[in-house]
Structure 1
Amino acid sequence: MLLGALRNSVRLNAVPRLVSCHRVPSIPGLSSLRVQGSTLRSLHTAPHRTLKAYGRVRELPSSLFRGSRTLHWSRPNATQVKEQQSLPILPPPSVGRWLMLSSVLVLGIIVVGGVTRLTESGLSITEWRPITGILPPLSNAEWMVEFDKYKATPEFKLLNQSMTLEDFKFIFYMEWGHRILGRLIGVVFVGPLAYFAIRKKIPKSLTLKLSGLAVLIGAQGFLGWYMVQSGLEDSVMETPGAVPRVSQYRLAAHLGMAFVLYLGMFGAGIAAIKDWKYAHGAPWSGYTGKLSEAVKNPIFRSFSRQSWALTGLVLLTAISGAFVAGLDAGLLYNEFPLMGGRLAPPTDELFSPEYAKNPDKSDKWWRNLFENPTTVQFDHRVLATTTYFATALLFARTFKPAVRAALPPLTRVTTMAAFAMANIQVALGISTLLYLVPVPLAAAHQAGSVMLLSAVVHILISMRSPSKAARTLRHLWMQNRRL
């Protein structure tokens, strides 16, 4: 009878607004409502799972809208409208999945870029054409044009005079694939970002942050070409014994920016996914206690600071690896843990005055740190060893009862994963050194640096407090569960 009365009194084109219904009443046949500012759509469809306020959809579990025995109908007053407007935006899971996909593509281009350098393919394309360069040469005549351009480079003149056209095609396709993947990342990231921003799926703060990453993608293309240009300069022909290679400084900047892009996408993606789960009732990183008390615990804060320090150390070690790669320093001292039968090379070799350019040799120290292959390899060894033991100590700390009680379960798991990845990375690094930098091992070692960085960043995210939007919607979720 109640259902019949509703059907007789409600017209779909003039339905009053529902302003204070938290759950759909359990009336047979009445199963679909859109709440807070929308209209009754249907009486016979599946339960609605969305909370709509001012054009923004907030996903909530279907249980939020079932079981109530009362239904209040009225038009919203000014106070209720203001409350609706103040509801924060919680990015849906699709945003998190898109960001994770983008981060995987960045991981892929880091690995491909490493293989491109290891195969000495990076200088095969002598021009930067963002639009017309999408297509590779399609005819033999076009291939000969590109090959002739390469023949004019110092790399060909000094190292590859015996190269055939088929050999050139291999290194050309390696560099071309690297550049195409960079363009693909731009399309995959910028397109959905515009869609989510226009549809108000992401808050303004996140929109600005991700827009900054979009700008960095474009800047990364410019920086990549700036790096390649350093290997095409004819001045290397005037230096006896010089080898054509890109500047290690520009290479480190190029790789460092790739790390920033990866971490920005990976961190935002994981955070969005975790916020969504938390808003829908999942425990915070597996922690079932009171969140506000947990984050104030001195042990928790101390562990968080140490995790941040470890993340910085991992990133610094990875960047130092770019200097090793840029100077081919991995081809020196192919033994471990000794270098020439001792823990460290002689001081006059580590800080040779030959690398100084100022007449008074005042730049000897810093130039050796960044330009002397022996010093660069030694620094990378020291940083890698320090990183390994720092990760081990952080993991060992999780076995203390007081620390275990203070940390969320997910933090302990991610710390263990970081230590496991550190062991793998050390094994890859030593193997790469002992076997004279074979391409597969060196590429795996570079990929391992990204995975280790991901693991330590995941520690930080597991200790991160949920966003304001997640806390607000979780509060609503808990309130409606109690009704």
Structure 2
Amino acid sequence: MESALLSPANEAVEGKERPAAMANWLLAVAAIVFAILVVGGITRLTESGLSITEWKPVSGVIPPLTHADWQHAFDLYKTTTQYKEVTGPAGMTLSQFQFIFFWEWVHRLLARLSGAAMALPFAWFAYKRAIPRGYAPRLFALLALGAAQGALGWYMVQSGLQDRTEVSHFRLSAHLLLALFTMAGLIWTALDLRARAAGEKRSARLTALSANVLGVLAIQLLYGAWVAGLRAGQVSNSWPLMNDRLVPDGIDWSNGVLFALTHDPFLIHFIHRWWAWIVVVALVLFARRVKLLDRRASIAINSAFGTQILLGIFTVLTGVAIWLAVLHQAVGALVVASCVWGAHRLGSVR
């Protein structure tokens, strides 16, 4: 009798679940976040981040349309310290301002798109009662992370509008790492949903090995963001030595070790350059473990970090060529994505 009472209800509930469709949706959102990361790299390298001095979540979707609108936006930018001390004295024209405005506008437009791409399907799946049990809080958390990312982005921009010629490298790193964390959460949840669609009821867990490897990688990502924020990549264009020395001249220790570790461009570049090899060792061992379960994920990890190392070297040797630096950031995001895939694979084994 119990079976007769429960089975039809269970079948009805499970029939409404759409884990495969939801997995595809979350991977699409992750792809948008990846695009945001790439355009964010362009925005940083072209010094475009301070070109839009106002935060208008809705009306900001529409860029200046008339010459008067463009001149007004340019006049607002002229009030910034960056214009007064850097771009203004260099003779910035309205067309040059329009170029940097474009990249910041695209960056913010993609951020808005990611929010809509997350919120609207979430509401639709919830309305259709298609969300598997236990996933609604996780999806809501991912939506909240996206909202927090937007708020943190504006908090970062504000730091560059207050007597600075650039944004705070601490806020920049927080903005980047939160975006990567959000992308990782989207991918992990999508993989859980795909497993559920295949009949697996339990979500993957984060193993100790995966947590340690991701922690080592996070340190590298943090220092990479600081390299970008402090323009530390430009202090040396030689490799493997930095200006003919293993440990470069120019490190300022006068304010203490902690200050140097978090502010000095020479030391931050040095750490980012050599911590990369600790990451390589960790990822080689990690990929070997993953290969026992999923050869494709192992290949993805090895391919991503191998390409990333080469791009990092060539970025340095070219004096931070913009297109190489953008590729370096893009592939860095792919390293994170491949490691999440591998970590999820390891965490699926009981």
TM-score (norm 2): 0.91
Checking the alignment, whether the CA contact within 8 Å between 1:278 and 1:466 is kept in structure 2 is no
State the 1:367 CA deviation. 1.5
Checking the alignment, whether the CA contact within 8 Å between 2:30 and 2:183 is kept in structure 1 is yes
1:115 aligns to what? 42
Structure 2 residue 221 is matched with structure 1 residue 318: yes
Q: C-alpha distance in 2, partners of 1:415/1:372?
A: 36
Equivalent position to 1:190, from 119, 126, 131: 119
Cα gap change, 1:152 to 1:206, in 2 (>3 Å) = same
List per-residue Cα deviations over 1:285-331 (Å, max 9, x = no partner): xxxxxxxxxx9xxxxx9x95433322222232112211000000000
Equivalent position to 1:427, from 310, 314, 331: 310
Aligned-partner residue type, residue 370 of structure 1: T
SS in structure 2 at match of 1:141: helix
State the 1:252 CA deviation. 0.5
Equivalent position to 2:24, from 64, 80, 97: 97
Structure 2 residue 237 is matched with structure 1 residue 327: no
State the 1:278 CA deviation. 4.5
Cα gap change, 1:397 to 1:86, in 2 (>3 Å) = closer
SS in structure 2 at match of 1:318: helix
Structure 2 residue 50 is matched with structure 1 residue 137: no
Q: Structure 1 unaligned segments of length 5 or more: list them.
A: 1-76, 237-243, 281-294, 296-300, 357-363, 399-403, 468-483
1:365 aligns to what? 257
SS in structure 2 at match of 1:254: helix
Checking the alignment, whether the CA contact within 8 Å between 1:154 and 1:232 is kept in structure 2 is yes
Q: C-alpha distance in 2, partners of 1:117/1:152?
A: 20
Q: C-alpha distance in 1, partners of 2:149/2:344?
A: 26
**Among the aligned pairs, what percent are the same residue?**
37
Q: Which has the higher helix share?
A: 2
Q: C-alpha distance in 2, partners of 1:180/1:310?
A: 33
Structure 2 residue 128 is matched with structure 1 residue 199: yes
1:172 aligns to what? 101
Q: C-alpha distance in 2, partners of 1:459/1:107?
A: 18
Q: C-alpha distance in 2, partners of 1:440/1:120?
A: 14
Checking the alignment, whether the CA contact within 8 Å between 1:314 and 1:452 is kept in structure 2 is no
Q: C-alpha distance in 2, partners of 1:307/1:226?
A: 31
Structure 2 residue 332 is matched with structure 1 residue 449: yes
Checking the alignment, whether the CA contact within 8 Å between 2:19 and 2:132 is kept in structure 1 is no
Give the greater-gyration-radius structure (CA).
1
SS in structure 1 at match of 2:32: helix
Checking the alignment, whether the CA contact within 8 Å between 2:207 and 2:347 is kept in structure 1 is no
Cα gap change, 1:320 to 1:268, in 2 (>3 Å) = same
Cα gap change, 1:395 to 1:191, in 2 (>3 Å) = closer
List per-residue Cα deviations over 1:190-235 (Å, max 9, x = no partner): 100111122221234211011011112111111111101111113x
SS in structure 1 at match of 2:275: helix
Q: C-alpha distance in 1, partners of 2:65/2:107?
A: 18
List per-residue Cα deviations over 1:25-61 (Å, max 9, x = no partner): xxxxxxxxxxxxxxxxxxxxxxxxxxxxxxxxxxxxx
State the 1:389 CA deviation. 2.0
2:149 aligns to what? 220
1:63 aligns to what? none
1:251 aligns to what? 172
SS in structure 2 at match of 1:436: coil
TM-score (norm 1): 0.67
List per-residue Cα deviations over 1:106-159 (Å, max 9, x = no partner): 000000011011011110011101111111111111111111111111111111
2:54 aligns to what? 127
Structure 2 residue 6 is matched with structure 1 residue 82: yes
Q: C-alpha distance in 1, partners of 2:128/2:311?
A: 45
Q: Structure 2 unaligned segments of length 5 or more: list them.
A: none
1:276 aligns to what? 197
Checking the alignment, whether the CA contact within 8 Å between 2:155 and 2:171 is kept in structure 1 is yes
State the 1:420 CA deviation. 2.0
SS in structure 2 at match of 1:338: coil
Aligned-partner residue type, residue 181 of structure 1: L
Cα gap change, 1:466 to 1:309, in 2 (>3 Å) = closer
Q: C-alpha distance in 2, partners of 1:368/1:83?
A: 64
Q: Comparing both chains, which one has the higher relative contact order based on Cα–Cα distances under 8 Å and sequence gaps of 6 or more?
A: 2
Equivalent position to 1:309, from 212, 217, 220: 212
Checking the alignment, whether the CA contact within 8 Å between 1:275 and 1:466 is kept in structure 2 is no
State the 1:167 CA deviation. 0.9
Structure 2 residue 253 is matched with structure 1 residue 352: yes
1:463 aligns to what? 346
Checking the alignment, whether the CA contact within 8 Å between 2:242 and 2:248 is kept in structure 1 is yes
Structure 2 residue 322 is matched with structure 1 residue 439: yes
Equivalent position to 1:232, from 161, 176, 180: 161
Aligned-partner residue type, residue 84 of structure 2: K
State the 1:368 CA deviation. 1.1
Cα gap change, 1:265 to 1:394, in 2 (>3 Å) = closer
2:77 aligns to what? 150
Cα gap change, 1:397 to 1:201, in 2 (>3 Å) = closer
> How many residues are matched?
344
State the 1:335 CA deviation. 1.4
Q: C-alpha distance in 2, partners of 1:124/1:151?
A: 9
Checking the alignment, whether the CA contact within 8 Å between 1:267 and 1:457 is kept in structure 2 is yes
List per-residue Cα deviations over 1:401-432 (Å, max 9, x = no partner): xxx7xx32x1x332232112111000000101
